[in-house]
Structure 1
Amino acid sequence: MSRADHVQLNVRSAFAHARAHELARRTGMTATQVVEDALRGYVPPGVAVTVGKLVLRGPILVRPAGGSSVSLEEANAALEAARERDD
């Protein structure tokens, strides 16, 4: 007979506890399901990656502060390169 695996996560934040239970009541899910769903969808912020003259900040390409301006053609080329890289 196998032993049951009892895993527990203690949350010490009053806000996180209240919000998880509020969302559980509103969605009909358990608090555990709410937390699991939130963790599945979480993507930690990444390191800025240079794409042409643009810099990748999370899922968005932005022009870095300072430096020369970026033309529309250069921006479109960088976006297309990023899209092809992600595929």
Structure 2
Amino acid sequence: MARADQTQFNVRSAFARARAHELAKLTGMTATQIVEEALRGYVPPTAAAKVSGLVKRGPILVKPAGSKVISAAEAEAALDAARERGHGD
């Protein structure tokens, strides 16, 4: 006699088990259906797309430094000027 394909997947997370059963009660679905739907909807994170002219510095994309060096004083002066223009005073 052929044996039915009984696939079993054990989850050892108390949170995942409780949440799956909680959602099953709320939706009328089985815990298996909840897990299947969650896995169908999951999209793993991908690497950031290449953006022309930007480079990755830690978790963010920035413009690469050019040949011109800007001092901290120049940067502060530019920020102050931009803030003053923004208030319309």
TM bin (shorter chain): 0.5 to 0.7
Shift of 1:67: 1.6
Higher strand share: 1
Does 2:25 match 1:25?
A: yes
Query: What corresponds to 1:85 in structure 2?
Result: none
In 1, Cα distance between equivalents of 2:47 and 2:3: 42
Q: Which has the higher contact order (CA 8 A, sep 6+)?
A: 1
TM-score normalized with structure 1 length = 0.60
Q: 1:67 aligns with which of 63, 68, 71?
A: 63
Q: Which runs of 4+ in 1 moved over 3 A?
A: none
Distance (whole Å) between structure 1 residues aligned to residue 24 and residue 54 of structure 2: 41
Q: Which runs of 5+ in 1 are unaligned?
A: 56-62, 69-87
Percent of residue pairs identical: 67
User: Using a 3 Å threshold, how does the CA distance of structure 1 residues 27 and 54 change in structure 2: closer, same or farther?
Assistant: farther
Unaligned runs of 5+ in 2: 65-89
Matches within 5 A, 1:48-63: 48-53=48-53
Partners of 1:38 and 1:54 in 2: CA distance: 35
Deviation at residue 2 of structure 1 after TM alignment: 3.6
**Larger Rg over CA atoms:** 2
Task: Give distance in 1, aligned partners of 2:31 and 2:9.
Answer: 11
User: Which SS does the other structure have where 2:50 is aligned?
Assistant: strand
RMSD: 2.1
Normalising by structure 2, report the TM-score. 0.58
Q: Distance in 2 between matches of 1:23 and 1:47?
A: 32
**Are positions 1:37 and 2:37 aligned together?**
yes
* Letter matched to residue 63 of structure 2: G
Count of residue pairs the alignment pairs up: 60
